[in-house]
Structure 1
Amino acid sequence: MGNQQRQKEILDALHRDGRVDVPDLARLLGTSSITVRRDLDQLAAAGALRRVRGGAVTTSLRGEGLPFDIRAVDDIGLKARLAGAAADLIADGEAVVIDSGTTGAAAATALAQRRITAMPFSVQGIAALAGSQSVSLILPGGTVRRPEGTIVGPLAERTLTGLRFDTAILTCCAAAPAVGVTAYDLADAAVKQAIKGAAERTVLIAEGSKFARSAMALVCRLEEVDVIVTDPSAPTEALARLADSGVRIEIA
């Protein structure tokens, strides 16, 4: 098992249990305690967890998310699959506004060969579309929030006030059914609200695990989006209620 796969397994255990211990991880991963400690130290240096005696605890509380570089390798195949399913909902000729984050970057990549007009709200999304010969790329104003690469701030919000898009591809930090679409950062949540308000249709991409989480800043209720693209691990009862309320559910 390579470093990235081991560290992904560690993050999965943290998401599930909130704390991991070195001996348990060594047994789970089939490796030595020394290797586990090195992985924990690397993840702690990246801000993905906090080291405690004998193991580590999660930093994924309501006000704090994982760093972009860690999330980028966490379930990368799943994010690409969901992004591809969302891209399949976009028709050629549409004007599309694309949210930030690792899933937003994956959506921009999936749309790079399509004939659309696109405004991405992250430097990663801009990079994914900048070389496209078929995408008409519009750049938003705003401030880049490092190290996320998210474009935020009053100028970013004002960029959207005079524009109307056919579709918004929205991403989220969490999507607990009782709470709604939420984000860890207040400035990010404000831009997400502006993105949703500037589009005729909102497509939310949310991995199944996001439905068990809640972050600090509310973006909108889940019933307020038009389409949810998720995976089979999403809670079926919650999805059924959303479908009954008129939300289209796409399982990828």
Structure 2
Amino acid sequence: MMNRLRQIADAVRAAGEMSVADLAELTAASEMTVRRDLETLAGQGVLERYRGGARSLLLRGEETPFALRSDDGVATKRRLAAEVAALIADGEAVVVDGGTTCREVARALRARRLTVLPLSLHTANALAGGAQLTLLLPGGEARPGELGLVGPLAEASLAALRFDTAVIGCCGLTAADGLTAHDLPEAAVKRAAMRASRRVIAVTEGAKLTRTALAHVADAAALDLVVTDSAAPAEARAALEAAGTVVRLVAEA
């Protein structure tokens, strides 16, 4: 169901608006099913219903809601997470960003002997209950949907600490524009996490190495390592390496 919701949301966003009949044909689902899906998406603020169809409420370049991204490419995200977890030694102090890929990193770290500060409530929930893990929680305001912790309290929490490794997600990453995010307060928290850490690992699906979002977080050279997958274009990887960043490619299963 979640893949169909994402398919509908992406199609309506690309077209601006679409009819129920066209969406039913696109998804090979019944019109009744599509209507239920549109109600779900309308409740998430993704689109607006009208008789016989829907129009998108997401602007170009705006972040797709967390719930719709949650199940996208899970197998790839778990391979990326396993690679990042293998780079972290027991006993490290680690700050883990929000987002769906970093949530998988948190799940991969949950059973480890580490001190971890998560930057979202989704990530914190993935870490909760680890028997050997020391879980630190920052202050801050939780962004609706994403539940990323932002604002002065979150930034002050990070400024008071020093980490061995920061694991940072991104909305876009290119050699020319660096690491970028959709949300300005989130970008500020990412920068604070990077300043507080000796090593910065960016983890992202390869497709994001061709994208640039609104808020600049850091130049590519500020990243010690980028962990990505084979969907990353060779030219984009080469440009990042030329900018001084090490790129580690995770093979398909």
Q: Tell me if TM exceeds 0.5.
A: yes
Aligned partners of 1:181, 1:141: CA distance in 2, in Å? 24
- CA distance in structure 1 between the partners assigned to 2:10 and 2:54 by the alignment: 15
Give 3-state SS (helix, strand or coil) of 1:104's partner.
helix
TM-score by length of 1: 0.86
Q: How many residues align?
A: 248
SS in 2 for 1:219: strand
Between the aligned partners of 1:50 and 1:235, the Cα distance in structure 2 is: 35
The Cα of 1:13 is off from its aligned counterpart by: 4.7
Deviations 1:179-215 (A, max 9, x none): 2222222111110000111111111111123233332
- Confirm or deny that 1:59 pairs with 2:58: yes
Deviation at 1:25, TM superposition (A): 3.9
Cα distance change, pair 58–180 in 1 and its aligned pair in 2 (3 A): farther
Opposite residue 160 of structure 1, the aligned amino acid is L
Residue among 201, 204, 207 paired with 2:202:
204
More displaced stretch, 125-134 vs 30-39: 30-39
The one-letter code of the counterpart of 1:205 is: V
Residues 150-205 of structure 1: per-residue CA shift (max 9 Å, x gap): 11111211112232211100012222443222222211111000011111111111
1:229 aligned partner: 227
1:39 pairs with 37, 40, 43, which one?
37
Offset of residue 115 of structure 1: 1.4
Of 119-128 and 192-201, deviating more is: 119-128
Find the residue that maps to 2:231 and give its secondary structure: coil
Which amino acid counterpart does residue 70 of structure 2 have in structure 1?
A
Q: Report the 3-state secondary structure (helix = DSSP H, G, I; strand = E; otherwise coil) of the residue aligned with 2:165.
A: strand
- Structure 2 counterpart SS, 1:243: helix
Separation (CA, whole Å) in 1 of partners of 2:109 and 2:25? 41
**Aligned-residue offset at 1:18:** 5.4
Distance of 1:241 and 1:121 partners within structure 2 = 29
TM-score normalized by the length of structure 2: 0.86
CA RMSD of aligned residues (A): 2.5
Q: Deviation per CA, 1:19-42, whole angstroms, max 9, x where unpaired?
A: 574455433432334433432342
Deviates more, 1:170-179 or 1:28-37: 28-37
| Structure 1 runs, 4 residues or longer, greater than 6 Å off | none
Structure 2's unaligned 5+ residue stretches are none
Give the direction of change, closer, same or farther, for the CA distance of 1:50–1:105 in structure 2 (3 Å limit): same
The counterpart of 1:110, out of the listed 100, 108, 117, is 108
* CA distance in structure 2 between the aligned counterparts of 1:194 and 1:83, rounded to whole angstroms: 22
Q: Distance in 1 between matches of 2:54 and 2:82?
A: 37
Asked if the contact 1:46/1:70 (under 8 Å) is kept, the reply is: no
* Aligned CA distance change for structure 1 residues 195 and 60 (closer, same or farther; 3 Å): farther
Corresponding position of 1:96? 94
Contact 2:173–2:209, Cα closer than 8 Å, also in 1 = yes
